[in-house]
Amino acid sequence: MKDCLLGKTLGELKQICAELSLKSFVATQLAQWMYSKRVRSFDEMTNISKASREALSEKYDLGVREYGAIAVSQDGTKKYLFEVSCPTAAGIETSAVEAVMIPDAERRTLCVSSQAGCKMGCRFCMTGRQGFHGNLSVSDILNQFISIDESAELTNTVFMGMGEPLDNYPAVSRVIEVLTADWGFGWSPKRITLSTIGVLPKLKDFLETQRCHLAVSLHNPFADERKSIMPVQKAFAISEVVRLIRQYDFSGQRRVSFEYTMFAGFNDDFSHADALIRLLRGLECRVNLIRFHKIPDFPYDCSPESRMIAFRDRLNDNGILCTIRSSRGEDILAACGMLAGRHSQQ
Ligand code: SF4
């Protein structure tokens, strides 16, 4: 299998050009075609000579792959399905992953996947139900940005699709490098949010080295209750995650938010709101309350609207900024893992 160019840094592209006896400026042209213009084939790189393109394509694959299926919601949300081949202990596994493009006024946000399936086993999540089918490569992740119809219009991204991004951090941090580098997409880190359930050692790396926003899936402030739906709590307690986050500055451009999916009768009474207030007091942050879309074999429904509003108001009245997140793409099963899950059952 040929190595992919998508995901290489400018330095690596220069090295490749040197090995192929191509002029160094070809590396800069390559980076521009791949990351600024986001072309899908060598043929489109018209200012690179045909001979140079042939030398490159003989040894390297560009790494751009067309999406397989697409579902479009009435609200404009679009869900793309990609086929990926990931190395696993059992050999190469082919799986389906998804990326969701969410339009909102002038914004076009892409929710990207970082793994095929997931090993974290959160009980309320369809991706978790599928088990783990491998890490996506850097080019698999970047391809989600490049091959969708709205590639040129994208304004923001969230690592909130399938998988736990900090469990595939080497690839994810390289993608962030490509997105933010001058020779890459040239995006400000403010346009990027990484969402995690709190994998502590990698979270520390992320907080030390990146300037992107952070979203933490919290869902319950009580350790025993959180553990019952999120096994990660056994290894990395949410209290420790918040303790780590408190060591970093979120008063400037970088923001931290906490995702809190509302399950009726499980995490939605005032004892939970008050524990959340105690946990987050003094931290510059926002809590997003999320409506839950019921999945099979999970005992809880979404909390009623009145409960969500009361919960939100309790937090806001006690100094914790809290909003109820609007649901997008419900008619196309936009909840995490739904499209890929359905696809694999066909
Ligand atoms: Fe994995 Fe995220 Fe689903 Fe948990 S919620 S199983 S971390 S994809």
Ligand 1 atom at minimum distance from 217 CA: 5
Closest CA to 156 of 184, 129, 194: 194
Please give all residues whose beta carbon lies within 6 A of any atom in ligand 1, as ranges.
Answer: 118, 120-122, 125, 127-128, 162-164, 197, 336
Q: List the one residue out of 169, 249, 162 whose CA is nearest residue 203.
A: 169
Catalytic status, residue 98: yes
Set 4, 98, 122, 125: catalytic member: 98
pTM (global) more than 0.75:
yes
Nearest CA to ligand 1 atom 7: 164
Q: Cβ(198)–Cβ(165) under 8 Å?
A: no
3-state secondary structure of 212: coil
With contact defined as beta carbons under 8 Å apart, do 41 and 64 qualify? yes
DSSP for 141-194, written as a single string: HHHHHHSSTTGGG--EEEE-SSS-GGGGHHHHHHHHHHHHSTTTT---GGGEEE
Going from the Cα of 277 to the center of ligand 1, the distance in angstroms, rounded, reads 24
- Checking if the pLDDT of 344 tops 50, the result is no
CA of 28 to the centre of ligand 1 (A): 37
**Overall average pLDDT of the 262-272 stretch:** 97
What is the residue with the minimal CA distance to atom 8 of ligand 1? 163
Q: How many Å lie between the centroid of ligand 1 and the Cα of residue 150?
A: 26
Interatomic CA distance for residues 22 and 41, integer angstroms = 19
Predicted confidence band at 87 (pLDDT cuts at 50, 70, 90)?
Answer: confident
pLDDT digits (tens, 9 = 90+) for 316-337: 999 999 999 987 777 776 554 4
Q: Long-range CB contacts (< 8 A, 24+ apart) of 228-234? A: 228/123, 229/122, 229/123, 229/124, 229/263, 229/266, 230/120, 230/122, 230/123, 230/197, 231/120, 231/121, 231/122, 232/120, 232/122, 232/197, 232/198, 232/199
Residue 201 in contact with residue 161, Cβ under 8 Å? Answer: no
Q: How far is CA 140 from the centre of its chain?
A: 13
Q: How far is the CA of 297 from the centre of ligand 1 (A)?
A: 16
Structural domains of the chain in order of their starting residue, each with its CATH number: 3-61 (1.10.150.530), 69-345 (3.20.20.70)
Distance CA 227, CA 343 (A): 30
In the predicted model, is pLDDT for residue 340 greater than 50? no
pLDDT tens column, 280-305: 999 999 999 999 988 889 999 999 99
Residues 6+ apart with CB under 8 A from 278: 221
The C-alpha atoms of residue 98 and residue 84 are separated, in whole angstroms, by 10
pLDDT digits (tens, 9 = 90+) for 165-189: 999 999 999 999 999 999 999 999 9
Cα separation of 107 and 109, whole Å? 6
| Residue 26 scores a pLDDT above 50 | yes
